[in-house]
């Protein structure tokens, strides 16, 4: 099972902000002119990108008076989108310091530093106060967290009574072994993919009530088919894209992800839950 150091090491790039700036320059953008939507191709590190984010966060029902927790925020792409789209205040936490540092710079570039704050930390043991948040969400995070029960208990602790929690994670839906590497892990020892039943058991044991569940496998298949079609027409990778985060192994990671989903071993699944009052 993955530990905190191996997870942070897996995602650390070494020159991430510079690589993003280089990609923006190819698009004719600078830190002074870049918009939230320009960053979407590189900072929405989950299946479906911005389209999936919007569909998912609409179900969490974010509002302008909400203080929202982004669990495993990465570069803060969903945090910035949420702050702009729903006019809410967002705090993000992520294990990887480079993601937090680069994401903080990106928030400044797009003028959202006053509404989005990112910090390094462990999602199962945050520094946030009890009952601090009105809503919380996580996108493709639990695959790196072995202790789903500890995660659920911590989320329950920091959410106010009646608060909504949304989870959009890659989950195990079949029994066959996964092909590696994948975007979140190089080998099986670094992967902590859980089933929907495991998530629900952990959430309910912590005190949450599950209100909705949606398997997004068909959406994922369509998403990857569109990516493949676009790539076949292009001369090379786009100026900005998830290949920047995944590095030289991006093609094999994506190929294995597609295979694992096609073989119905895993699927992206949404869960919506409420903290009992």
At 69, which CATH number? Answer: 3.40.50.150
Q: How many domains does the chain have?
A: 1
Token representation of residue 159: 């959410």
Residue 98 resides in a domain: yes
Mean pLDDT, residues 137-146 taken together: 97
pLDDT band at 30 (very low <50, low <70, confident <90, very high): very high
Question: Domain range holding 88?
Answer: 4-119+131-275
Q: How far is CA 197 from the centre of its chain?
A: 20
Helix (H) or strand (E) holding 245: helix 243-246
Residue 23 has pLDDT above 80, yes or no: yes
**pLDDT tens readout for residues 53-84:** 999 999 999 999 999 999 999 999 999 999 99
Token representation of residue 128: 């946030």
Of 100, 108, 131, whose CA–CA distance to 207 is shortest? Answer: 131
Mean pLDDT, residues 189-207 taken together: 97
Tell me if residue 169 falls in helix, strand or coil: strand
Residue 105 resides in a domain: yes
Token representation of residue 189: 């020892």
Residue 110 resides in a domain: yes
Residue 124 resides in a domain: no
Token look-up 């930390």 returns: 121
Residue 2 has pLDDT above 90, yes or no: no
Q: Note the pLDDT of residue 277.
A: 75
CA distances from 218 to 167, 203, 214, 222, 233 (A): 18, 25, 11, 6, 23
Task: Round to whole Å and give the CA distance between 102 and 96.
Answer: 10
Peptide bond into 96 cis (omega under 30): no
Residue 175 resides in a domain: yes
Of 205, 224, 228, 207, whose CA–CA distance to 216 is shortest? Answer: 224
Residue 125 resides in a domain: no
Whole-model pTM above 0.85? yes
Residue 196 has pLDDT above 80, yes or no: yes
The CA angle 80-172-120, to the nearest 5 degrees, is 35
pLDDT band at 154 (very low <50, low <70, confident <90, very high): very high
Mean pLDDT, residues 133-156 taken together: 98
Residue 157 resides in a domain: yes
Count of other CB atoms within 10 angstroms of residue 108? 13
Sheet of 159-172: strand order equals 116-120, 89-94, 67-71, 133-139, 159-172, 266-275, 208-215
**pLDDT tens readout for residues 215-241:** 999 999 999 998 888 877 878 788 898
- The per-residue pLDDT of the chain, averaged, comes to 95
pLDDT band at 3 (very low <50, low <70, confident <90, very high): confident
Token representation of residue 108: 């400044």
Residue 126 resides in a domain: no
Task: Round to whole Å and give the CA distance between 273 and 13.
Answer: 34
pLDDT band at 276 (very low <50, low <70, confident <90, very high): confident
Token look-up 């096609």 returns: 262
């Amino acid at each position: 099972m993955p530990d905190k150091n191996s997870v942070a090491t897996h995602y650390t790039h070494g020159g991430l902000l510079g690589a993003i700036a280089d990609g923006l320059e190819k698009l004719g953008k600078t830190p002074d002119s870049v918009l939230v939507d320009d960053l979407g191709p590189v900072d929405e590190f989950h299946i479906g990108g911005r389209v999936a984010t919007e569909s998912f966060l609409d179900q969490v029902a974010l509002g302008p008076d909400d203080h929202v927790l982004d669990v495993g925020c990465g570069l803060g792409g969903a945090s910035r989108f949420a702050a702009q789209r729903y006019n809410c205040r967002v705090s993000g936490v992520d294990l990887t310091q480079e993601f937090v540092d680069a994401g903080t710079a990106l928030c400044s570039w797009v003028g959202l530093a006053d509404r989005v704050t990112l910090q390094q930390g462990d999602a199962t043991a945050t520094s946030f106060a009890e009952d601090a948040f009105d809503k919380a969400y996580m996108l493709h995070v639990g695959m790196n967290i072995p202790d789903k029960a500890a995660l659920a208990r911590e989320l329950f602790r920091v959410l106010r009574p009646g608060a909504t929690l949304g989870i959009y994670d890659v989950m195990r839906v079949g029994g066959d072994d996964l092909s590696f590497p994948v975007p979140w892990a190089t080998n099986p020892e670094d992967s902590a993919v859980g089933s929907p039943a495991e998530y629900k058991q952990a959430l309910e044991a912590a005190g949450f009530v599950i209100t909705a569940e949606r398997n997004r496998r068909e959406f994922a298949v369509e998403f990857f088919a569109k990516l493949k079609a676009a790539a076949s027409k292009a001369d090379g990778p786009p100026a900005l894209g998830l290949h920047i985060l995944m590095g030289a192994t991006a093609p094999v990671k994506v190929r294995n992800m597609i295979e694992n989903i096609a073989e119905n071993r895993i699927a992206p699944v949404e869960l919506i839950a409420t903290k009992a009052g």
